[in-house]
Structure 1
Amino acid sequence: MTANNSSARVASIDIVRGIIMLLMTVDHVRETFYLSHQVSDPMDAASTPPALFFTRLAAHFCAPLFVFLTGLAAWLYAHPPGGPRSATGFLLKRGALLLFLELVVINFAWSGQWPGPVLYLQVMWAIGLSMIALALLHRLPLPWLAALGALIVAGHNTLPTLAQLAASFGAGFEPGGAGHMLWTVLEQRGYLASDGAVKVRISYPLLAWIGVILLGYAAGPLYSRTMAPQRRVRVLLAAGAAAPALLLVLRTFNIYGEALPWAQGTDTLHSAMSFLNFTKYPPSLDFLLLTLGAGMLVLAWLEPQPRAIPAPAAAWRRACAVFGGAPLFYYLLHLYALLALQRIASALQGTGSGRYEFNAVWQLWLASALLAALLYLPTRWFGRYKRSSGNAWLKYF
């Protein structure tokens, strides 16, 4: 833990959040400068080039780990060193702020106009509503929250089957009806409103993300001041090993947890791509076993070591912690930087209303590294200012 004025930040959590921000940057550069090479969800393993497939796969780790760590951080907020405090107001206010940012600030950053022809409700919408749900539920006993989170994560894959069964008995959700709208918000990606001058599309169905944030909150005691680091590492390693082990069984035999079964490809690489091709919207059980399991192992690996860390690795950790210490600021900043860069590149290219595009995947990674380097100092400044200024409203960022 790294100390500051009134609380303690967990360095490993900031580092993981920073890694998430950097992987997210690659995916957003892809969506800005590689849009003609769009991928489906799940990706078509037979037609998607491996470099693009694994670039997109790397981004799959971002949302689950960030939502999980949001729940964990909420527990830390509710249990500061001075004693427990209510997190209800903070979660409600921050959740409402994220909804506002999604509707106004973020939608403009993606399209350059507001309102655009489609109002997209994406990851900040999901995190904001998940925080509001956590605000209403977090006072329940932690075992109840853990059980509810696990039930949602493991069980929501059965809901489409149950919906089909209900439809066979004439209980389907008619488009435009309240049932269809609720189903779209919770489980089925699609248009909440498909008519009118401005359409509303749900990109991140909500239910599974509520399960993930509940699991994160229930994991909060792992980072309490009374938890021995060695025990925390053992628990993280056990969880990180159990998740992929269960995934291996479920996925190998196509038992449960993913609507798209895997199949042998033309070679070993394409077979592996098919095996790792999971549904993200909403996140399937197999998707979450892969991403959250890997996250537990990374958190265990980042625990402070008794031996000295090599200087390059220590510098890399510090850089990641900068981005992870002010993730919302960096999120908004990099979206507007991408909007400006696309406009500038298109103007220099002289294509009028056309978009500037990269022609190779390696260019996405290089451009992402350069963009992160460009935004490093502003992000570091904001993170330090947020923690030293004493302005209460900055804690919501």
Structure 2
Amino acid sequence: MNPSLHQLTTAKTLTPNKVRIESVDVLRGLVMVIMALDHTRDLFHSAAFANDPLNLASTTPALYFTRWVTHFCAPIFVFLSGTSIYLQSLRKTKKELSRFLIQRGLWLIVAELTIITLGITFNPFYNVLILQVIWVIGISMVILGLLIYLPFRLILALGLAIVLGHNLLDASEAAPGFKPNVWWSLLHQTGLYPYAPNYMVLVSYPLAPWLGLMLLGYCIGTFFKPTVSPTRRRTVLTRMGLGLIAFFIVLRFSGIYGDPLPWSQQKDSLFTLLSFLNVQKYPPSLLYMCITIGPALLFLATIEPVKNRFTRLIGTFGRTAFFYYIAHWYLLHTVCLLVFLMRGHSLAEAAKIPIPIKFVVPGEGFSLPVVYLIWATLILILYPLCRWYDAYKTAHKEQWWLSYL
């Protein structure tokens, strides 16, 4: 073979595996932006920690959907983490990928307990350790780092079994006298547990359902291989997305299985719809995952051929997701601290706040439009930071530590 032709053929073979899937970055970036809205509402809305925005007896449609739309964030973030791992498997050996996943997973757990817990609580004494989405991604990565040696079909079967079957545990949890312990909460149910005097751990994201979702995200990555045409990929994603939404509607309407929170007729058709959509996130039910991942697959199919200013801007957040996640907590909570002091509170008063998140007084805050204004300002501040970090990562690919941030 002619040497130049051989080099050209090799380049065409290898390059696709090294090119990022832009649609995945755009979707990840979009959910990061939406996620910041939820956390802005938590820290600044007048009803935060005083009323549940999904409580149909006290909420408004605007407040309900402000909270409900953020349901998409965590499952898509976990699902796409699995997809990204599959894409890495195309350019790494199983041994290399396993080692990376275990190391990065352990690092994410440590980061959750230190950097992120501090950003969420602004409590330097760490009286409450919070296990949220970063911890569950980390521990799921560690487990997937061990599972990748299994056949692909076995990983798929395991993911399906967990996602489809974990709600079978609802019956035992609802039984009279059932009392979960910390190990059960780490597996399937949220809980707050003391581990020393005045020190507790809050399990917000139990492992089982999120691990199953990451495994399915890993398996969906097979449709993003260079050998799969964009047309074929979009067709498969569209059918899967529509199928999940239809499955949600049928199963939710029947009330037979898939979510422990039944829906009911309300005072009008709008609030009946809100009841129908109000599925359980903690832990994520089967129906919760269907109604979030289904539209996500449709979005991936729709956005792939789109290349414009919006996709470039949002893709920047997607390529710097962990950096964004850390930065947004510290920026939001710094502003929250300043507002707390401007209202006449003292630092000493923060210690008396009855919730783990300091400098937030339940029932004290702003209206929903002001919350949206703070959120929009936050995104405008974060964009140049993320753009700088994205450029830095691109220019310093040889620095191994960047793959952990």
Find the residue that maps to 2:304 and give its secondary structure.
coil
Give 1:350 deviation, angstroms: 2.7
**Pair 1:17 & 2:11 matched:** no
Q: Which amino acid aligns with 2:370?
A: Q
Whole-angstrom CA distance in 2 between matches of 1:41 and 1:133: 34
Distance 2:390 2:253 in 1: 44
SS at match of 1:191: strand
Partner of 1:43: 54
Matches within 5 A, 1:170-249: 180-193=181-194, 196-249=197-250
What CA distance in whole angstroms lies between the structure 2 residues aligned with 1:40 and 1:7?
47
User: Is the CA contact 2:44–2:365 (under 8 Å) kept in the aligned structure 1?
Assistant: yes
Give the letter aligned to residue 369 of structure 1. A
Q: 1:132 aligns with which of 131, 142, 146?
A: 142
Structure 1, residues 93-147: CA drift from partner, whole Å, max 9, x if none?
1111111111011111122123332211111111111111111112212211111
Is residue 99 of structure 1 aligned with residue 106 of structure 2?
no
Distance 1:351 1:265, change over 3 A: same
Q: Which runs of 5+ in 1 are unaligned?
A: none
Please tell me whether residue 317 in structure 1 is matched to residue 311 in structure 2. yes
1:364 to 342, 367, 371: 371
Distance 1:83 1:123 in 2: 27
- Call closer, same or farther: CA 1:69–1:40 in 2, change over 3 Å: farther
2:17 touches 2:226 (CA, 8 Å); kept in 1? no
The answer to whether the Cα contact below 8 Å between 1:107 and 1:114 also exists between their aligned partners in 2 is no
Amino acid at match of 1:153: V
> Equivalent of 1:7, from 6, 9, 18?
18
Which amino acid counterpart does residue 298 of structure 2 have in structure 1?
L
User: Amino acid of the residue matched to residue 319 of structure 2?
Assistant: G
1 CA distance for matches of 2:101 and 2:291?
28
How far apart, in 2, do the equivalents of 1:89 and 1:259 lie? 38
Deviates more, 1:283-292 or 1:44-53: 44-53
Q: Secondary structure at the match of 2:192?
A: strand
**152-161 vs 192-201, which moves further:** 192-201
Query: Shift of residue 83 of structure 1?
Result: 7.6
Find the counterpart in structure 2 of residue 116 from structure 1. Answer: 126
Q: Which residue of 1 aligns with 2:400?
A: 392
3-state SS of 2:78 partner = helix
Task: From the superposition, tell whether residues 238 and 388 of structure 1 become closer, same or farther in structure 2 (CA, over 3 Å).
Answer: same
How many Å separate the matches in 1 of 2:319 and 2:15?
Answer: 12
Q: Cα gap change, 1:371/1:85 in structure 2, threshold over 3 Å: closer, same or farther?
A: same
Q: Aligned partners of 1:343 and 1:163: how far apart in 2?
A: 39
Amino acid at match of 1:378: L
Deviation at 1:195, TM superposition (A): 5.2
Report the secondary structure of 2:267's partner residue. coil
2:37 is aligned, of 26, 35, 39, to: 26
Give 1:164 shift: 5.8
**1:380 alignment partner in structure 2:** 387
How far apart are the structure 2 equivalents of 1:271 and 1:258? 17
C-alpha separation between the residues in 2 aligned to 1:359 and 1:35? 5
Does residue 1:278 correspond to 2:279, yes or no?
A: yes
Q: What is the Cα-based RMSD across aligned positions, in Å?
A: 2.3
Query: How far apart are the structure 1 equivalents of 2:130 and 2:37?
Result: 20
2:113 aligned partner, one-letter code: L
Task: Give the total of aligned pairs.
Answer: 378
State the match for 1:331 in structure 2: 325
Q: Which residue of 2 aligns with 1:350?
A: 344
For residues 119 and 94 of structure 2, the distance between their equivalents in structure 1, rounded to whole angstroms, comes to: 38
Which of 97, 100, 104 is the equivalent residue of 1:90?
A: 100
| Contact preservation (8 Å) 1:41, 1:279 | no
Query: Quick check: 340-349 or 36-45, which moved more?
Result: 36-45
Distance 1:181 1:122 in 2: 15
| 1:378–1:4 Cα change, 3 Å | farther
- Quote the offset at 1:10 in angstroms: 0.8
Matches within 5 A, 1:243-282: 243-282=244-283
Is the contact between residue 40 and residue 371 of structure 2 (CA under 8 Å) also seen in structure 1?
A: yes
Partner deviation per Cα, 1:203-228 (whole Å, 9 max, x = no partner): 11110000000001111111111111
Identity %: 38
Give the conservation status (yes or no) of the 8 Å contact 1:29–1:367: yes
Q: Which residue of 2 aligns with 1:340?
A: 334
The superposition leaves residues 282-333 of structure 1 with CA deviations (integer Å, 9 ceiling, x where unpaired) of 000110000000100000011115xxx6xxxx21111100100100001101
Letter of the 1:213 counterpart: M
For 1:112 and 1:97, locate their aligned partners in 2 and report how far apart those are by CA, in whole Å: 21
Residue 72 of structure 1 pairs with residue 83 of structure 2: yes
Pick closer, same or farther for the CA change 1:54–1:362 going to 2, 3 Å.
Answer: same
Higher mean C-alpha deviation, range 43-52 or range 188-197? 188-197
SS at structure 2 position matched to 1:54? helix
1:180-216 alpha-carbon deviations (Å, 9 max, x no partner): 3321111111024365221111011110000000001
Q: Deviations along 1:13-61, whole A, 9 cap, x unmatched?
A: 1100110110010011011112643377793223222111101111100
1:54 counterpart = 2:61:
no
Is 1:288 the counterpart of 2:298? The answer is no
